[in-house]
Amino acid sequence: MENSELERFMRLAIIEGRKAIAHCRPNPPVGCVLARNGQVVASGYTGAPGQPHAEAMALQNLLDPSAEVIAFVTLEPCSFHGRTPSCAQALVKRGIRTLYVGMIDPHPKNRGAGIDILKQAGAEVVVGLLENEVRKELEAYLWRPDNGESL
């Protein structure tokens, strides 16, 4: 895939993430796009607390579960089971072989662990695609005014 095409899919994931802004707090507004043969085949965004995250929603929306797809996600998939299962594990279970991530999740419970899960399962993980744009979209999540901490 050409770089311009990769960026197009990540920009679509950013747009998906915007759909989550009104209801996802305290979770970040993450977007995910699944692509195959240069076409978007599914997408998703983070739901309200306790609802599926972007990756899980995109996987649920995938009409052909046997299709080999490339995943684009704005923020590193979560590695741990909180209110919802690990998105990194869901991507591994689905057999995602290639994942583009906008940026590493700065949250101390996840920072790099989601990527490690995918890499250990043999997936190619490329981090930093449109990172500056993603960082700007997630700015409110990266600075937590409720506790004054920067993540």
Query: Which pLDDT score, from 0 to 100, does residue 85 have?
Result: 87
Query: Which pLDDT score, from 0 to 100, does residue 141 have?
Result: 82
Name the domain count of the chain: 1
Which of 104, 107, 9 lies closest to 58 in space, CA to CA? 9
**149 domain residue, yes or no:** no
Query: Which pLDDT score, from 0 to 100, does residue 148 have?
Result: 43
- For residue 42, what are its two tokens? 């599914």
Which domain, by its residues, includes 32? 3-144
**Among 2, 5, 16, 55, the one annotated catalytic:** 55
Contact 99, 75 (CB under 8 A): no
Active-site annotation holds for 55: yes
Instruction: Dump pLDDT digits (tens) for 8-32.
Output: 999 999 999 999 999 998 889 999 9
**70 domain residue, yes or no:** yes
CA distance 140 to 146: 11
CA distance 146 to 89: 30
Secondary structure class of 71 (helix, strand, coil): strand
Under-50 pLDDT residues of the chain: 145-151
CATH of residue 17: 3.40.140.10
**49 domain residue, yes or no:** yes
**33 domain residue, yes or no:** yes
